[in-house]
Structure 1
Amino acid sequence: MYSKDLGSGFTVKEVSAVELNACLDEHFASVYSNRHEAEAVPFDDPQAQAKIDERRKQEQRYRLRLAVFFEGSIVGWHYGHATDAETYYMQNSAVLPSFRGIGLYAKLLTCTLQKLQEEGFQVVTSIHHPNNPSVLIPKLKAGFIVTGMQFHERFRSLIELKYIYNPERRKLFCRSLGLDI
């Protein structure tokens, strides 16, 4: 299991789904208190919903769950999954409001990228609200590239980012975007 001391009493550790879900149940609403989602169209097919719920429980693809601890309590997290054999999707990362502004997210991001590189992933993707500088800035500083925008029915405008580990592959990708790096 992955574990890294971040100093000043902070540690990043790989955690189980049960541990992470308990943390999310307690803190998700406060971390995203400024988030506005449109209601999804009501879902009226119980059989389809049961199949969707079952697929969400399956552990067939690679998943990573990391938590940042301070004095034994979770104060931040990351979770995501492989979308294919070489691509990892960063589904959600956050730091509790009272622990923001001290560079903790950037440290968690570094640990996440190191762990994914150790696992052999070639590309890391993520999507974000365009008005979320506390995540966008550290990711851009870490080397993520803006690769697109999308409009989601619930989450609205989103920016897609990619991190490409191989420098030559990254250079060729950037050139296809019209950038020489």
Structure 2
Amino acid sequence: MITDDFTDVRAKFFPGGMTGLGLRVQSCEDAEEYARAIAASVETIFPHEPGLPVPIARQPAVARLKSIYRRMHQERFLLLDEHDCVQGFLSGQQEDPITFNIGRVGMMPDYRKRGAASFYRLFIEYLRELGYERITSHHHPHNTEPIIIQLKLGFFIEGMQLDESLGPRVKLVLQLHEDRRQQAIERFRLS
């Protein structure tokens, strides 16, 4: 299900290739198709994150909330090799009117530290062109690789959050425009 009208902007950025890695980026509009496509990769990349299931009695209420949630702007991308096998993925959704939250990012071990982070740059430019002002993401404090990648891209650590199903999370924020970045630096006394 398409949750937006960004087809023209998306077509300028994706599908595309990732130079030197032999991967191509493909947008995946259907949430269920995306979940099936990344299932095996998630088990390999995140074996330590079982999540917290919703009891059967509360599932109808959660289903109603999910139907509302699916109407927000969402993005799902697969990073596919030459055999159409998923080697990485990125998904996220609109957090508020001006903020996009990067939800889950994963890269199979064979493709890490080989330039796959270049997809972040492309995705950041895409979100900027869509009109977003800021990007957020959350990571386990021990998952240092994506935190370091994002810090190098200009994200800053906004704080920590505790989540009963995922544990502690470091919250990172990227201001997409220089005036917002300067305002954050001044407001948080970062200079």
Q: Same fold (TM over 0.5)?
A: yes
Distance 1:36 1:112 in 2: 25
CA contact (8 A) 2:29 2:75 kept: no
Distance 1:28 1:36 in 2: 9
Aligned match of 1:13 in 26, 36, 48? 26
CA contact (8 A) 2:41 2:87 kept: no
TM-score, scaled to structure 1? 0.87
Q: How far apart are residue 39 of structure 1 and its match?
A: 5.3
Tell whether 2:126 aligns with 1:115.
yes
- One-letter identity of the residue aligned with 1:28: V
Q: How far apart are residue 38 of structure 1 and its match?
A: 7.4
Residues 137-148 of structure 1: pairs in structure 2 closer than 5 A: 137-148=148-159
CA contact (8 A) 1:37 1:156 kept: no
Q: How far apart are residue 131 of structure 1 and its match?
A: 1.0
Q: How many residues align?
A: 175
- Which residue does 1:43 correspond to in 2? 55
Give the secondary-structure state (helix, strand or coil) at the position aligned to 1:102: coil
Deviating more after overlay: 73-82 vs 54-63: 54-63
Unaligned runs of 5+ in 1: none
- % same residue: 21
- One-letter identity of the residue aligned with 1:73: C
Residues 119-134 of structure 1: pairs in structure 2 closer than 5 A: 119-134=130-145
Two-structure CA RMSD over aligned residues (Å): 1.9
- One-letter identity of the residue aligned with 1:14: S
Q: How far apart are residue 24 of structure 1 and its match?
A: 2.2
Q: How far apart are residue 144 of structure 1 and its match?
A: 0.4
Tell whether 2:188 aligns with 1:157.
no
